[in-house]
Structure 1
Amino acid sequence: MRDLRICFVGDSYINGTGDERCLGWIGRLCERRFAWDYRLSFYDLGIRGETTPEIRLRWKQESDVRFQEGADNRVVLQFGMNDIAEVTDKGRQVEEDVSISEAEALVSEVSALYPTLWVGLPPANEACSPMQPSEGLEVSFTQRRGQELNERFKAVAEALSIPYLDLQTPLLANRDYMSSLTRGDKMHCDGTGYAMIANLVDNWSAWDAWFKD
């Protein structure tokens, strides 16, 4: 029986923060792919508030301990939202050029070892900015920065020949998704938004191909 193990690595959107059902998009996605003819183990390696450089520092150690020799080990990445956060009185958390260089290094490292998919950052929660994710911290988000980073991420993925799923284009045009950002914890989308992300990934040919290998 195929032992399929997938590490989902990234930030709070990987973790599903703000979802009232505590499934996020990865739980919903893997639920749809559950089958008795293979064993699917999925691991949530999302940490709220982490930037691309921080994710790069930890991904290998955390993934390697969950993988096993002889298993079909794979990685799905999603990151970048915290890079574009503007911290009140301090500025942007990660400058765009640093985000790009770190993303290129991260994706190169992962894909050199494991089959890799890259899911783009979703729309920023501009409507609820500024927000206070923790005591003493105030951050703001703008769509422009998210869209600019998304376009550069797409270029990096193309140069590295890594499948990249653009979430910005369909979700920015989806009124229901944008409304989902103003409900729940008012920092992330609620469960309906995560379900929409799961739908987009589940209908992605690159993801579907993993279950036909």
Structure 2
Amino acid sequence: MVSDLRVCFIGESFVAGVGDRKCLGWAGRLAARAVAAGQPLTYYNLGIRRENSTELRARWEAECTPRLPAGADCRLVISTGVNDSRYENGRPRVDPGDSVDNLAAILRRARENGWTTMVVAPPPNVDEDHNDRLLDLDARFTALCDSAGVLYLRAHQPLRDNRIWMREVAAVDGYHPDAPGYDEFAALLAPHWLLWLIDPDSGLAMVR
């Protein structure tokens, strides 16, 4: 009997796949890889462009609850932080400490609801000052997920070193790639994603 596996992807524009002419983003590509590998699932993309983690914290549970019913194998994939660390009016939109608190609150509620969770690092862009702030947030998120026993995929630096990702980001708007960039993002995450779907307790191996 095929299990009722349901996965909600929550976060910002990269989750939604902004810039991708195939309209898949990395989340849609991961879902397609799972089905191709023989793992059927119901996939919900709940990404919102320009959303920060404070806004995500306020809305995510109400949107996920009807999609993750009791009796199903319920999973949650989170990616946030790029909008938090963008400067507006001379300061980040969300203080880094508040970003960590927001993610911690989401992880706590997901655990209370019995939803298995994975977190994906915020990806890089063409603004190196912004990337440095993202690296700081990446380290904070790593520590949080380690303490919470949640799989955290450290995709930021590998993508920063990825020629295709950075080329695509520069060609679109400085932040979002077209399809080849999202192909690279998904390929980086895919081995860990597929293992997590099969055995969520398989360990906390991270993309480094």
- Please give the range of the TM-score, normalised by the shorter of the 2 chains: 0.7 to 0.9
Structure 1 window deviating more from structure 2 (48-57 vs 32-41): it is 32-41
Separation in structure 1 between the aligned mates of residue 94 and residue 139 of structure 2, nearest angstrom? 16
State the Cα distance separating 1:176 from its structure 2 match: 1.7
Counting only pairs closer than 5 Å after superposition, residues 75-90 of structure 1 correspond to structure 2 as: 75-87=76-88, 89-90=89-90
1:147 is aligned to 135
1:159-184 CA-partner distances (Å, limit 9, x unpaired): 11111000112111112211111122
Where do residues 62-77 of structure 1 align in structure 2 (5 Å cutoff)?
62-77=63-78
Most deviating of 89-98 and 157-166: 89-98
Q: Identify if the C-alpha distance between structure 1 residues 193 and 65 changes in structure 2 by more than 3 Å, giving closer, same or farther.
A: same
Tell me the equivalent position of 1:209.
196
SS at the partner of 1:44?
strand
Q: Distance in 1 between matches of 2:73 and 2:19?
A: 31
1:70/1:36 CA distance change after superposition, 3 Å? farther
Q: Which residue of 1 aligns with 2:153?
A: 165
Match of 1:184 in 2: 172
| Counterpart in the other structure of 2:95 | 95
Report deviation, 1:90.
4.8
Instruction: State the one-letter code of the partner of 2:189.
Output: V
The amino acid across from 2:19 in the alignment is G
Equivalent position of 2:18 in the other structure: 17
Contact 1:15–1:46, Cα closer than 8 Å, also in 2:
yes
Aligned-pair identity in percent equals 33
In 2: Cα distance, 1:15 partner to 1:68 partner: 23
Q: Which amino acid aligns with 2:119?
A: W
1:207 Cα deviation (Å)? 4.2
Give the superposition deviation at 1:185. Answer: 3.8
Query: Given residue 211 of structure 1, which amino acid in structure 2 is its aligned partner?
Result: I
Q: Which residue of 1 aligns with 2:203?
A: none
Shift of 1:45: 0.6
Give the whole-Å Cα distance in 2 for the aligned partners of 1:172 and 1:184.
Answer: 16
Any idea what SS the aligned residue of 1:210 has? helix
Deviation string 1:157-212 (CA, Å, 9 cap, x unpaired) is 111111100011211111221111112244312211111111111111x6423135
- Give yes or no for contact 1:4–1:72 (8 Å, CA) kept in 2: yes
Q: In 2, distance between residues paired with 1:125 and 1:38?
A: 36
Unaligned runs of 5+ in 1: 128-140
Q: Residue type matched to 1:122 in 2? A: P
TM-score normalised to the size of structure 2?
0.88
Give yes or no for contact 1:79–1:120 (8 Å, CA) kept in 2: yes
Report the CA distance between 1:33 and its aligned residue. 1.2
Give the Cα–Cα distance (whole angstroms) in 1 for the partners of residues 20 and 63 of structure 2: 24
Report the secondary structure of 2:84's partner residue. coil
* Higher percent of residues as helix: 2
TM-score normalised by L of structure 1 = 0.86
